[in-house]
Structure 1
Amino acid sequence: MKRIGRDAAELTALAGHLAAHGLVLEMLARPLAEICDPTGHGRLLFAFFAAMAETERESIRESTLEGLDTAVREGKHGGRPPVITDDMLHTVLRRRTNGETVEEIQPDLIIPTGKRKGQSPSLSSIYRALAEREKRAAYPEAVEAAHGDFVALRTAGRIPGQAVGIMTS
């Protein structure tokens, strides 16, 4: 049931759809291995399973959010670390001003840490880093406001961390 719909309302609508088309739901697992008509007593069983699936989904969601909140309080941040370092980005920018293309620069860049250590970053990673830099340059006041908000939250103790600082490139 939990794979058919996201909540009880969606599963109930599915039961209505089945009934409207004269279809029946067959339970394959024991002890419920029988045919259940979603219009009669089967409707109650279907609604029960729908409610259980929704409850399980909400429980998983709450546990996930709780785990993410705990990780943030411990100073851990999800996601992959950036592949393009500031030094790499400055190298790309300097060489592009000399007329080289990103495709020519890419083989000379080496990822210093992580799973792909020693390999060259992908072209899309380089272009994404360049786009992010352009965005920061185009909207410096928004970046500064975000940094200011972050520092204020950390100072108020709402974001854990070892040091209060702003890193700009």
Structure 2
Amino acid sequence: MGELIGYMRVSKADGSQVLDLQKDALLHAGVGDQMIYEDFASGKKDDRSGLDACVKALRPGDTLVVWKLDRLGRDLRHLVTTVDDLSKRGVGFRVLSGQMPIDTSSAQGKLMFGIFASLAEFERELIRERTIAGLASARARGRVGGRKATMTSAKIRLAQASMGKPETVVADLCKELGISRQTLYRHVGPDGVLREDGKKALGVL
């Protein structure tokens, strides 16, 4: 049986009281005091070093526990992607309170997890379709030839969605994006994970 690992986040607007509520709820749910990761958001920059460390610590069979769903995601896209990644890694997920309590050990929780995975796939396909349509439109306007364009955010997202899929042919993907294989691999790994250049281009710390 895996570990219960907790994550909590508080902002200036929340105040320390919310942090106490989160910690009490996590401890009551069985999360060990040493297994709780936390972040303190301030101003416009929402630093998530605690979440990054938490996600790295999770192993297959573990369960990530949060107080409310809004503690985990920066926005809906980030939330969907994070939950989908957990599911693929064999990590469980529990939301203790709020309008949408989730526990993947239950049938309802597994259903919710499946919905998140479907939403993530839907988002990836939308990005892929929009990028391909944008590239086709640019070619139709004569924006072809000359120096190869650098990787844009849209191209990186398309590469992320495509890489790692068994049906993806890297040579065809590079041709579609108008980049070299070397440029592709500087930004995105074979499994679709962002590399250093890709993180910099997207502003991901």
Q: TM-score, normalised by structure 2?
A: 0.28
- Structure 1 or 2: larger strand share? 2
- Structure 1 or 2: larger helix share? 1
Q: TM-score, normalised by structure 1?
A: 0.33
